[in-house]
């Protein structure tokens, strides 16, 4: 009798273990699908984009529309610039943001027009060929007194 009980307990442990593994795999794939899409193979540019998306995990622009989507796209496209540009809305004190890029790593950038404007202005200057230090200074001059 003991042998059958022991065998039944062992079978139950295997079933429970299998269920835990299946749930873990499903959860892993669910979390993976929430990450921004990047190319996994291809040119050096594709590999650089993938490394950038991992290094700077912004929310996917496809979650939003209009100006908000444009700002989140800027954060995805030029994170190396936004990571060096301060934000002047006060989110550094309220949300612990260290730079404008942080505004797009969470949903703060959804409702904050200043954060969006800083990102969009940074993109215009970047596209015009300005170096990051000049972008940073122009943003400081324009927004420093209007925030907080």
For the chain, domain boundaries: 1-34, 44-143
Q: How many residues does the chain have?
A: 148
d(CA 128, CA 89) in angstroms, rounded, equals 25
Flag the least confident range among 15-24, 35-44, 56-65, 95-104. 35-44
Nearest Cα residue to 104 out of 75, 147, 64, 84: 75
The pLDDT assigned to 145 comes to: 79
**pTM, rounded to two decimals:** 0.63
Nearest Cα residue to 66 out of 120, 17, 14: 120
Give the residue carrying structure tokens 């835990």. Answer: 20
Flag the least confident range among 25-29, 66-70, 103-107, 116-120. 25-29
d(CA 27, CA 146) in angstroms, rounded, equals 44
Of all residues in the chain, the percent with pLDDT exceeding 70 is 64
The pLDDT assigned to 20 comes to: 65
The C-alpha angle 45, 49, 52, rounded to 5 degrees, equals: 135
The pLDDT assigned to 135 comes to: 98
d(CA 31, CA 47) in angstroms, rounded, equals 21
Residue range 92-96: average pLDDT?
92
Instruction: Tell me what the pLDDT averaged over the chain comes to.
Output: 79
SS (H, E, C) 26-50: HHHHHHHCCCCCCCCCCCHHHHHHH
Residue range 74-95: average pLDDT?
95
Residue range 12-16: average pLDDT?
75
What is the number of alpha carbons within 13 Å of residue 49 lying toward its C-beta?
A: 14
d(CA 85, CA 114) in angstroms, rounded, equals 13
pLDDT greater at residue 37 or residue 76: 76
Tokens describing residue 126: 């970047």
Q: Which residues are CB-neighbours of 134 under 8 A, at least 6 positions away?
A: 125
Q: What is the DSSP letter of 60?
A: P
């Amino acid at each position: 009798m003991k042998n059958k009980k022991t065998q039944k307990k062992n079978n139950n442990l295997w079933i429970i273990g299998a269920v835990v593994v299946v749930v873990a795999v499903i959860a892993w794939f669910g979390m993976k699908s929430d990450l921004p899409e990047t190319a996994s193979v291809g040119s050096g540019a594709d590999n650089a984009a993938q490394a950038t998306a991992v290094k700077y995990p912004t929310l996917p622009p496809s979650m939003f529309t209009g100006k908000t989507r444009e700002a989140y796209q800027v954060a995805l496209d030029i994170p190396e610039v936004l990571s060096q540009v301060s934000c002047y809305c006060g989110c550094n004190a309220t949300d612990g943001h260290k730079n404008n890029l942080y505004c797009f790593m969470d949903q703060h950038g959804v409702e904050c027009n200043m954060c969006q404007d800083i990102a969009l202005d940074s993109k215009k200057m970047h596209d015009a060929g300005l170096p990051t230090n000049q972008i940073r200074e122009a943003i400081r001059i324009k927004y420093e007194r209007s925030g907080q």
